[in-house]
Amino acid sequence: MTPGAADLLLVIDVQVDFLPGGALPVRDGDAVVAPINALQRKFRHVVLMQDWHPADHVSFADTHPGRVPFETVALPYGSQVLWPRHCVQGSPGAGFAPGLATDRASLVVRKGLDPRVDSYSAFLEADRTTRTGLAGALAERGITRVVLCGLATDFCVLWSALDARAAGFDVWVAADAVRGIDLDGSVADAWSRMEAAGVRRIESAAIA
């Protein structure tokens, strides 16, 4: 693949709280920084996604009395995994990972701002009706192909990839530039779901 004017690199949630030692660490999450920086130098268009939650966000286990992290509960918009408190607006943990290049990004999109609804996807909130506006912004710029990277494979990368496909984009995931949480085989399930939806996998070395 040789990225051109219609190609976008979409960097998902490479933030301090998702790195080892963070509030919601993804195993080897820091390992994505170097390949993502290398990928950014190959793309004309880069967008960074940033989890940005209010302190009382509905996805936090401690906002549900008697619940603990990684439990699943039913909420008005569907099933919700409860997480440790993470990426609180303005906190150090919500910042981008140390060493992650941000100067090539033309846009930073923050998600998860509504305290009542979680937001895994770069394109739609978890209620599956509220749009982030990213799809329209990319279409206006003539973007037709999206390459995803970042954290985590089985949640925010997965949902962003599926919604990008549903929005009509040609979607790829840089397999060496993602890492997953892996709850009961969720990473393998994520790859299966993405492949079934027409999302393709590529290694960074195959991108010129």
For the chain, domains (ranges, CATH) are 7-53+85-206 (3.40.50.850)
Count of CB atoms situated within 10 Å of the CB of 142: 10
List, in order, residues 6 or more apart from 66 with CB less than 8 Å away. none
Which position among 13, 51, 118, 163 bears the catalytic label? 13
Taking the chain (208 residues) in consecutive chunks of 10 residues, what is each chunk's mean pLDDT? 98 98 97 99 98 98 96 94 97 98 97 95 93 94 98 97 98 99 96 98 97
The yes-or-no answer on residue 87 being catalytic is no
Q: Spell out the alpha helix ranges (H) of the chain.
A: 33-40, 134-140, 158-166, 186-196
Name which of 97, 98, 94 is nearest 110 in CA terms: 94
- Per-residue confidence (pLDDT) for residue 78, from 0 to 100: 92
Distance CA 105, CA 119 (A): 21
The yes-or-no answer on residue 42 being catalytic is no
Which position among 30, 111, 149, 163 bears the catalytic label? 111
Q: Tokens in use for 159?
A: 């949902």
Instruction: Read off the pTM.
Output: 0.96
- Per-residue confidence (pLDDT) for residue 201, from 0 to 100: 98
